[in-house]
A = this chain, B = another copy of it.
Amino acid sequence: MKGMAVRTIHRACDEEIAALRELGVATVHEAQSRSGLMKPYLRPIYAGAKIAGSALTVLTPPGDNWMIHVAVELVKAGDVLVVGVSSECTDGMFGELLACSLRRRGCLGLVIDAGVRDVSALTAMRFPVWSRAISAQGTVKATLGTVNRPIICAGTAVSAGDVVIADDDGVVVVPRLSAADVVAEGRRRASKEEATRRRLEAGELGVDIYGMREELARRGFVYLDGPEE
CB within 8 A of A169: which of B37, B87, B101, B136?
A: B136
Decide if B25 touches A136 in the complex (CB within 8 Å). yes
CB within 8 A of A226: which of B8, B143, B193?
A: B8
Name which residue of chain B comes closest to A171, CB basis.
B136
Decide if A138 touches B104 in the complex (CB within 8 Å). no
Q: Which of A79-126 contact B (CB under 8 A)?
A: 86-92, 95-98, 100-101, 104, 115, 117-120, 123
Decide if B142 touches A143 in the complex (CB within 8 Å). yes
Q: A25-B136, A227-B9 are in contact. Are A2 and B222 (CB under 8 A)?
A: yes
In angstroms, how far is the closest chain B Cβ from the Cβ of A216? Answer: 7
Name which residue of chain B comes closest to A70, CB basis.
B207
Decide if B34 touches A104 in the complex (CB within 8 Å). no
Q: Which of A127-166 contact B (CB under 8 A)?
A: 133-138, 140-144, 148-150, 152, 155-157, 159-161
Decide if B40 touches A62 in the complex (CB within 8 Å). no
In the complex, whether A77 has a CB less than 8 A from a CB of chain B is: no
- Given A100-B197, A117-B169, 19 new contacts (CB under 8 A): A6-B227, A25-B136, A29-B138, A34-B138, A40-B115, A40-B134, A48-B120, A61-B63, A70-B212, A72-B205, A88-B89, A88-B90, A101-B201, A120-B168, A134-B169, A141-B212, A142-B142, A144-B219, A152-B156
